[in-house]
Amino acid sequence: MKNLKKILLSLVIASAMGSVSTVAVAETDPGRVVYAPAEAIDMVSGKVKLAIDAIASGSDGEAVAKLIKDALDASKEINANDKVDMARSRANNKLKAARAKAKENALQEAEQELRNAYKGFQDLKTML
């Protein structure tokens, strides 16, 4: 009887954990687009390239900073594993530095940071 109680209790605990587990009931919000890691990397790289092109075409610092902010927001969609997340974080730091430079109207320095960030995001593809 003592063993039966232990088995029954462990079954109840296991079923309770399985029924309320966030992984078991995980789903996306309605209307939210979920990107594959490679698609998200391409999307962010495109936005970074857009910011580099904006600097080359002579845009002002505020416009470039807004484009960089869009790239930062899009980079949140990249989620593959911890190794990729750490590399994404390093590339994000370069984007943040570029955004700060763009706000100061130091566009040449911002362009160099953007090129480094672009390379960092492209390197993420090899980690998938």
pLDDT of residue 19: 65
CA angle centred on 61, ends 91 and 76, rounded to 5°: 30
The answer for residues whose C-beta is within 8 angstroms of residue 83's C-beta and 6 or more apart is 127
pTM of the model: 0.76
All residues at 6 or more sequence positions from 104 whose CB lies less than 8 Å from its CB, including other chains: 61
- Distance of alpha carbon 98 from alpha carbon 118, whole angstroms: 11
Name which of 70, 65, 78 is nearest 113 in CA terms. Answer: 65
Phi, psi of 113 (to 5 degrees): -65, -40
Token pair for 61: 């610092």
Q: How far apart are the first and last CA of the chain?
A: 52
* Residue 42 burial (C-beta neighbours within 10 Å; 0-12, 13-18, 19+): middle
Q: pLDDT 10s per residue in the chain (128 long)?
A: 888 888 888 888 887 776 665 554 555 566 677 889 999 999 999 999 999 999 999 999 999 999 999 999 999 999 888 999 999 999 999 999 999 999 999 999 999 999 999 999 999 999 98
Q: How far apart are CA 128 and CA 98, in angstroms?
A: 26
